[in-house]
Amino acid sequence: MSIVKINALTVPEEMRETLEQRFASRAGMVEGSDGFEWFELLRPLGGTDQYLVYTRWRSEEDFESWMRNSMENAHRAGGRPAAADSQAWTFEVIQQAAPKTD
């Protein structure tokens, strides 16, 4: 099954708009990557200053290939980092469900 990569970004209040604009300007950069399955940028609504960047990949190898080819350049081009800290997590999908269709 797929793997999920979550990057938990600690973003100060004054940098939230910058972070969101940077992700918006990158729209479409990952969608054509081999093995890419899903992306979500999750904004905190309360109780935390961490944004979550959720991506889902067919395999670890597909993710690593994308990191080598695309992600490094995107991070270099952004100027001052919007996040004060980040943590990267990896999960293997072992169960999943989708809404039923009639």
* End-to-end alpha carbon distance in the chain: 26
Q: What is the pTM of this model?
A: 0.84
pLDDT at position 80, please?
73
Is the four-CA dihedral 78, 40, 50, 44 of positive or negative sign?
positive
pLDDT at 75 over 80: no
Tens digits of residue pLDDT in 1-16: 899 999 999 999 999 9
